[in-house]
Amino acid sequence: MTKTVPAMHVAVNTSRRVNKAGVEVEYRSVLLRTSFREDGKVKHETLANLSALPDTAVETLRASLAGKTMVEAGAALQILRSLPHGHVDAVYAMARGLGFEAMLGPACRERDLVMALLAARMCAPSSKLATLSFFADTTLGRDLGPVSTDDLYRAMDWLGNRQAVIEKALARAYLRPEVNPDKLALFDLSSSWVTGTHNPLAAFGYSRDKKRGVEQIEYGMLANRAGVPIAVRVFPGNTADPTAFISIAAEIQDLAGVQDMVMVGDRGMITSARITALKDTTLGWVSALRITAIQELAQDQGPLQMSLFDQQNLAEITHPDYPGERLIACYNPALAAMRKHKRAELLDVTEERLKTIQKAVIAGRLKDAGKTGLRVGKTLGKNNMAKHFTLTIEDTSFTWVRDPESIAKEAELDGIYVIRTNVTEESMDAAEAVRVYKSLANVEKIFKSLKSRDLHVRPIYHHTEERTRSHVFLCMLAGHLTWHLRDALKPLTFTDEDRPVPEEPVAAVNRSAAAQRKASTQQLADGTPAYTYQGLLRHLATRTRNTMTMAGTTGTFELLATPTPTQHQALNLIRDHAKTYRK
């Protein structure tokens, strides 16, 4: 007879029986057993019945018999360091899911640093020097190892050298006909101020930030209709809008690999001179007329009359000054009411300021008509109100009256704007042309995200042209990932998930009932809290990666905190979104 060495284990047996009362009852027994093989057969021997022990004691005994070392919870396990990780992980999950990291270039140290710079810009935008502190206080520091400012600048130079390749890849991904059947691209210009005095791109110009007295740069943003940033061009701070447009228009067809693209730009971007320059290309365009051109169309014999809007809010008109083009006149009653109210406010504010000047003249503090005229001109110029007042200025007196004819003439055009395009009606009907032009608001959202809401592109601290361009390009790429994160995380934030599109293209777009409910209750449909996008990033950051050790040992290991239900849902949303866009 041969017998193997017995192995001790815990066996849990369950069975169901019907008791005397006719009720089915489950019986459970926990037995301490040894198992051994005797003459080729497996046999068991019960050593003790453990059914009376609590479940925790049974599991502890089972783990001990399995060879695991049991220690008292909290007495031996120590957390050496906890680093925020969840927000960085969300950025990397989106980038890798979209194939964005691979698109930046081949795997190398510079690409790793660029990805880290993008994550830092999206999670805690600051200067490059301050970014090093962000690395140290998150898991990026441990993953990257030692990093210096010189390393970051080398990574920016590497990124700048790859800008053309990356932008072409983005354009092919988001502007090719398969995903952009309308063949539309949006372009707009903005500016940001620059610190220091040595940046060759810095110049005084029209500041869209209303930051007077400082030099600035300008940059034009190319995006698809949804407002996903695709390419950016940096210009000196005194560049005119039309010049910037022509610069990107010359490249757009090559970038996207599509010959008959349609560019959408505002009335200051696509001017008559630029339209003339585009006639030799296959590039279509959609823009709008300036107010002076609208006034000419609205003259007594002109085609733009208020009777056009008796039955509808848009009408297509023609004029010999615009051969080969379509003009779509639109009337928005809400816009008309807003302009009327604003004009009334500006007239009242201007008159209050004029009264201050008048009191100074009467008191003798202003005795020269020329000096009085300068102050009056500056006051009227603040809100462009000079056309609505008739002035009488003398050395010892100053009076004014409103010009009712000028006010009435301007009021006639309240709420009216005119879309201008060379795209044929077969390719784009009047209603769609209006919607296309209004989609320029999506580029404004990019600038809002870049400047103040998410990425803080300004002020710009770099002193060389190449680094300035790399900085703006880096921020544009961060804006690209931010767009995707915002879109993916809409179910958890106050963002409208299903914003209704009105049948009337001129009408304002209102938030859906679900979005209004989220805003009023501060909760999602399931009763959990709704977040702002930035608030959700902060919540994701609370998921930490912890460096652990055991008492009496020198080894360490890392343990990632279990995600909260919201964090778990956010990661699932990111994965699903990335799969959709990578198809």
Which string of DSSP letters, residue by residue, matches 363-388? TTS---HHHHHHHHHHHHHHTT-GGG
- At 75, is the pLDDT very low, low, confident or very high (cuts 50, 70, 90)? low
Q: What is the dihedral of CA 335, 336, 337, 338, to 10 degrees?
A: 50
Residue 359 has pLDDT above 60, yes or no: yes
Tell me the per-residue pLDDT of 285-326, one tens digit each, with 9 for 90 and over. Answer: 899 998 889 988 988 778 888 888 888 888 999 998 888 899
28 or 131: which carries more pLDDT confidence?
A: 131
Tell me the per-residue pLDDT of 428-467, one tens digit each, with 9 for 90 and over. Answer: 999 999 999 999 999 989 999 998 889 998 888 888 999 9
pLDDT at 561 (0 to 100): 93
Task: Say which range, 20-29, 66-75, 360-369, has the weakest mean pLDDT.
Answer: 66-75
DSSP conformational letter for 490: G
Tell me the per-residue pLDDT of 17-60, one tens digit each, with 9 for 90 and over. Answer: 777 777 777 778 888 888 877 777 877 788 788 888 888 888 88
Q: At a CB cut-off of 8 Å and minimum separation 6, what does 124 contact?
A: 131, 134
Write the Ramachandran bin of 308: left for phi over 0, alpha for psi from -120 to 50, otherwise beta.
alpha
Q: CA–CA separation, 432 vs 426, rounded Å? A: 11
pLDDT at 208 (0 to 100): 81
Residue 516 has pLDDT above 60, yes or no: yes
pLDDT at 419 (0 to 100): 94
> Where do the DSSP E strands lie in 50-118?
77-84
Residue 2 has pLDDT above 60, yes or no: no
- At 5, is the pLDDT very low, low, confident or very high (cuts 50, 70, 90)? low
Average pLDDT over all residues of the chain = 88
Tell me the per-residue pLDDT of 87-128, one tens digit each, with 9 for 90 and over. Answer: 999 999 999 999 999 999 999 999 999 999 999 999 999 988
pLDDT at 82 (0 to 100): 95
Alpha carbon distances (Å) from 574 to 96, 297, 449, 479:
10, 50, 19, 16
Task: Say which range, 253-262, 309-318, 331-340, 416-425, has the weakest mean pLDDT.
Answer: 253-262
pLDDT at 134 (0 to 100): 94
**Residue ranges in 198-301 assigned as alpha helix (H):** 241-256, 272-278, 291-297
Residue 421 phi/psi, 5° resolution?
-155, 155
Q: At a CB cut-off of 8 Å and minimum separation 6, what does 328 contact?
A: 314, 315, 316, 317, 418, 419, 420, 421, 430, 433, 434
pLDDT at 494 (0 to 100): 94
Q: Which residues of 7-29 are buried (b: 16+ CB within 10 A; e: fewer)?
A: eeebeeeeeeeeeeeeeeeeeee
The pTM for the full model equals 0.82
Tell me the per-residue pLDDT of 541-571, one tens digit each, with 9 for 90 and over. Answer: 999 999 988 877 778 889 999 999 999 999 9
Average pLDDT value for residue range 152-176: 94
Partnered with residue 227 across adjacent β-strands are none
pLDDT at 65 (0 to 100): 82
DSSP conformational letter for 48: E
Residue 76 has pLDDT above 80, yes or no: no
Q: CA–CA separation, 537 vs 123, rounded Å? A: 7
Q: Which residues of 338-361 are buried (b: 16+ CB within 10 A; e: fewer)?
A: ebeeebeeebeebeebbeebbebb
Q: At a CB cut-off of 8 Å and minimum separation 6, what does 64 contact?
A: 70
Percentage of the chain exceeding pLDDT 70: 98
Q: Using only C-alpha atoms, what is the Rg of the chain?
A: 34
- At 71, is the pLDDT very low, low, confident or very high (cuts 50, 70, 90)? low
DSSP per residue, 183-217: -EEEEEEEEEEB-SS--TT-B----TT--TTS-EE
Percentage of the chain exceeding pLDDT 90: 49
311 or 165: which carries more pLDDT confidence?
A: 165
384 or 138: which carries more pLDDT confidence?
A: 138
Average pLDDT value for residue range 259-287: 80
pLDDT at 83 (0 to 100): 95
Q: CA–CA separation, 185 vs 187, rounded Å? A: 7
Average pLDDT value for residue range 508-533: 91
pLDDT at 13 (0 to 100): 83
Tell me the per-residue pLDDT of 390-415, one tens digit each, with 9 for 90 and over. Answer: 999 998 899 999 999 999 989 989 99
